[in-house]
Amino acid sequence: QQQVKQSPQSLIVQKGGISIINCAYENTAFDYFPWYQQFPGKGPALLIAIRPDVSEKKEGRFTISFNKSAKQFSLHIMDSQPGDSVTYFCAASKGNTDKLIFGTGTRLQVFP
Amino acid sequence: GAVVSQHPSRVICKSGTSVKIECRSLDFQATTMFWYRQFPKQSLMLMATSNEGSKATYEQGVEKDKFLINHASLTLSTLTVTSAHPEDSSFYICSAGVSGNIQYFGAGTRLSVL
């Protein structure tokens, strides 16, 4: 019930295309779903996050789609750029300042 | 805002020595800090949750006597790897929690034990 399953493990997208990364969870008590971007040798950086009271959140080229009934959420990167070529982690947590449960990560490669 | 400073960024030590890693929230107070470990090309594994002024809560399988955590103030938590061995070599990352489950991460510490 504590797992967050992330797919795909790796993703190759052409420049300008849409990158889509999916996550699924089991615990219906989760109420916070962030996406993190991690550059090599650095800690994760918060990219965008959503709570279950909305189905979509957009910030610039990044959009989270959230499907509460399916217990799934996804990250869409529009107009993907070579600079987006890093690792992305989804996560979930419940309550206030509770621990984050991370997905397994997706290594994105955007080629020119 | 929301900057978390982690120091050192890299440390190389001999087997049997202890290493201390500091994690500071620079522009906010964090009642809860978290310590993670990450192996190459893998996800972050939570080691422990640290609340200011109280004992840390360790995840299953993490040796509390091996990984000592101190959270003496609302802006500082430390992780000490005691009697480090080569198998402790890893990337250690801290995060500071604010209200609403949001966590901000430090840049990580690469520990290499020879």
Give the residue with greater pLDDT, A99 vs A61: A61
- CB A87, CB A109: distance < 8 Å: no
| Interface check A95 vs B, CB under 8 A | yes
End-to-end CA distance of chain A: 40
Q: What is the pLDDT of residue B55?
A: 87
What pLDDT, in 10s, does the model give residues A35-46?
999 999 999 999
Section A44-53 average pLDDT: 94
Section A81-98 average pLDDT: 90
Q: What is the pLDDT of residue B45?
A: 93
Determine, for residues B34 and A100 on separate chains, whether the beta-carbon distance falls below 8 Å.
yes
| Interface check B5 vs A, CB under 8 A | no
Sheet bearing A56-59, strands edge to edge: A4-7, A19-25, A72-77, A62-67, A56-59
Section A53-72 average pLDDT: 96
Closest partner residue to B43 (CB to CB) among A41, A97, A103 is: A103
Give strand pairing partners of B22.
B7, B78
Determine, for residues B46 and A100 on separate chains, whether the beta-carbon distance falls below 8 Å.
yes
Q: Is B88 helix (H, G, I), strand (E, B) or coil?
A: helix
- CB A84, CB A18: distance < 8 Å: no
Q: What is the pLDDT of residue B2?
A: 84
Using the predicted structure, report yes or no on whether residue A72 has a pLDDT greater than 60: yes
B49 interaction partners in chain A (CB closer than 8 Å): 99
Measuring CA to CA, which residue among A75, A54, A51 is closest to residue A64? A75
| Interface check B62 vs A, CB under 8 A | no
B111 interaction partners in chain A (CB closer than 8 Å): none
Least confident of A6-10, A82-86, A107-111, B69-73: B69-73
Q: What is the pLDDT of residue A1?
A: 55
Give the residue with greater pLDDT, A1 vs B89: B89
| Interface check A42 vs B, CB under 8 A | yes
Residues in chain B predicted with pLDDT less than 50, given as ranges, are none
- CB B11, CB B111: distance < 8 Å: yes
State the Cα–Cα distance between residues B40 and B43, nearest whole angstrom: 8
Q: What is the pLDDT of residue B102?
A: 85
Amino acid at residue number B58: Y
Measuring CA to CA, which residue among B27, B34, B26 is closest to residue B52? B34
Q: Is B1 helix (H, G, I), strand (E, B) or coil?
A: coil
Tokens standing for A67? 């499907």
B110 interaction partners in chain A (CB closer than 8 Å): 41
Measuring CA to CA, which residue among B113, B99, B97 is closest to residue B35? B97
